[in-house]
Every structure is written in structure tokens, then in C-alpha cells.
Amino acid sequence: MSRINLKPAATLREPAELVAHGLAALADLPDLEKVAARYAVAVTPDIAALIDPGDPEDPIARQFIPSAEELVAQPGENADPIGDHAHSPVAGIVHRYPDRVLFKLVHVCAVYCRFCFRREMVGPGKATALSPDAYNGALDYIRARSEIWEVILTGGDPLMLSPRRLGEIMADLAAIDHVRIIRIHTRVPVADAACAAMIDAGIPMVSQSVLLRGVNDNVAALEALMRAFVECRIKPYYLHHGDLAPGTAHLRTTLEHGQQLMRDLRGRVSGLCQPDYVLDIPGGYGKAPVGPSYLSQASSLPGEGELDPETRYRVVDYCGDVHLYPPKP
Ligand code: SF4
């Protein structure tokens, strides 16, 4: 099969279109049809143009081109891996932490990430957006709770809404006094120019990356990614350990590997470029930082004898060397 990748004129949504553009092998088509019947596929022309069809390990392809491995669910994987349903008091709202809510406006995205933690809630056969009644019910829920300081627009991808509709939603939320922050979770503005325009308009941007096997699970890739964010004025916020979404085991790595990567990253880039490595605890218990710890209690250094009893902390520097720190001020 010749592997050509002409920039498509429109978003590719069918496995046969991926094959026609050299982005998937013809022999894989039957399996990919099965994947696409369950999980949405969308590869925009710009994303397609970034993929090297000659590279079987292409990291962009790994994020967006479906794989037969998605048909295999592992024990522990879950259709609702971070427990949205358990914290959804009304349609469209997830209220997990006291001072903030997720407001899930749409169930469609510009691209469909193969590691998506909401893959069972977006895509084929799902409603595309909240009904007007559900939208009003969600707004009433927010209005009635003065402890809600931050509303996170999510979905799906809220930037799939028209600017007019998004403007109406922002105005509805801005009219609620206790809502002081509106955050938008999106993958739409992936181009630098789009990010710069938003930041220039006064909208701060932060990144939430997912640690993905074969994509960014090496320190050079993570370093380049975090430096690029900061150069684009985007603060690295979270590095997520992969959620237990069905059929995503081939994209997850181990927590131990993630911790080692964070140690290595600490040795290479400043604190400005350090995301928090976090795990969404299955069942809806929220995020926990799972990065390496640099401080521990110990009675001695390796190879040393008795220590001063006042010296009880070991602290590890960015080179991995251990130092002592006294416990009392
Ligand atoms: S909801 Fe987010 S992670 Fe899931 S496919 Fe859409 S953009 Fe990707």
C-alpha cells in the first residue's frame, strides 16, 4: 500500500477515509470500523498534516488515529473512570469539590483523543448538547449555591459552540455574583497563533497534558512540551496519569515511570515548567498529586553511622543527591 498523506480538505471521520489518506492500513480496516462504531473518530486537516504516515510510532497519530487495541478492555477500566456520574446532582453539572463545578455543555469535540476519559459520553449515538431545560436547570443549580466560585465549561469541547452561544452562556454565568472564575476546557486552540490571540485578549491559559505511552513518556519529549507551553505563555498545570477509560491500556504507563519522569524533568527545567503529576482517583474521589516526594524522614544517610538525633529529614536535590535538614526551626 502506498502511504501518502495529502492534507485532507475536511475532517476525517471514517476509517476508510483514514486508509485513503495513508493514515491507517487497509488490513486494519475491519477492526477500525468496529472501534469507530463505539468511539468517535475525528482528525482535522491540520492534525492529519502533522502525521508522518511512514512512521508507525508517530506520536500525533497515536493520539488521534484509532487502533484495534481499543477493542480490548482491561480489568479495572471503567466507562466513567473519574466518577462523573456519582457527583452529578442535575444534568450537565458535576459537583465534586465544594467551590467549583464542571458544566458539561456539549458532547462533541473537534478531534477525538484515543485516550479520552469521557469516550463513552462523547461521540456516536450520544446527545450533542444539553437541552434548553437541562441548561436552565444547571444554571439554577449554580445560582442557588453561593459556594460555587469557579465554573469549568467542559464537555466534549465547549469551543465547538458558536461564538454567539458561548457569549450567551458567559453572560448567564457572569450575572451570578458568586461565580468569579470561568474556566474553559478545550483542545481547539492548539495552534500557537490562536493561543497568543487568547492570551493577548487577557485570558490566562494553563495546560492539562496526559502522560501517554509512546507519545510523551520520555523526559526529552516532556521537557520540549513544557518549554513550548511556557514560551507560548501557557502555564504547565497538570500532567495527568492516564485514566482507566476502556480500551486505553496501550496508552497508559506506570505510576513509577511517571514519577521517575517527574524527577528527571525537575533536573532539567525550572519550576515554571513543572506541572503537577496527578491521578484522578477512580470512583470520583478527585485528583491526588502522585509526583515524587523529595523529603523523607530517616535516621541516617546511606553509608553513614549514627546521626545527631535532631537531624531527621532527608531532602533530595535535582541531581538525586541526598542532604540533611534539621526538624526544628
Ligand atoms: S473530551 Fe477532551 S479528551 Fe475527550 S475527545 Fe474531547 S477533547 Fe479529547
User: In this structure, which residue's CA is closest to atom 8 in ligand 1?
Assistant: 113
Task: Name 234's bridge partners.
Answer: 205
232: annotated active-site residue: no
84 flagged as catalytic: no
Partners of 252 in beta bridges: none
Minimum CA distance residue for ligand 1 atom 4: 116
Atom 3 of ligand 1: nearest residue by CA position? 116
Alpha helices in 8-162 (DSSP H): 15-20, 29-38, 45-50, 59-64, 132-143
Question: 80-99 b/e with 16+ CB inside 10 Å = b?
Answer: bbbbbeebbeeebbbbbeee
Nearest ligand 1 atom to alpha carbon 40: 5
- 234-240, strands of its sheet edge to edge: 205-210, 234-240, 276-280, 287-289
Q: How far is the CA of 202 from the centre of ligand 1 (A)?
A: 25
Say whether the peptide bond before residue 156 is cis (omega within 30 degrees of 0).
yes
* Distance from Cα 235 to the centre of ligand 1, integer Å: 20
Please give the share of the chain, as a percent, with pLDDT higher than 70. 93
Task: Give the three cell numbers for residue 192.
Answer: 500557537
Contact call for residues 252 and 213 (beta carbons, < 8 A): yes
Which residue's alpha carbon is at the smallest distance from atom 1 of ligand 1? Answer: 156
Question: 46 C-alpha to center of ligand 1: Å?
Answer: 17
**Strands 150-154 vs 322-325: parallel, antiparallel or unpaired:** unpaired
Q: Alpha-carbon distance 259 to 277, whole Å?
A: 8
pLDDT, tens only, 267-304: 999 999 999 999 999 999 999 999 999 998 866 555 55
> Using one digit for the tens of pLDDT, what is the confidence trace for 127-163?
888 999 999 999 999 999 999 999 999 989 999 999 9
Distance CA 3, CA 26 (A): 11
- One digit per residue, the tens of pLDDT, for the chain of length 329 reads 445 567 899 999 999 999 999 999 999 999 999 999 999 999 999 999 999 999 999 999 999 999 999 999 999 999 999 999 999 999 999 999 999 999 999 999 999 999 999 999 997 778 888 999 999 999 999 999 999 999 999 989 999 999 999 999 999 999 999 999 999 999 998 768 899 999 999 999 999 999 999 999 999 999 999 999 999 999 999 999 999 999 999 999 999 999 999 999 999 999 999 999 999 999 999 999 999 999 988 665 555 555 565 668 889 998 889 988 887 66
99 is catalytic: no
Q: What is the pTM of this model?
A: 0.90
| Active-site residue (options: 114, 116, 252, 266) | 116
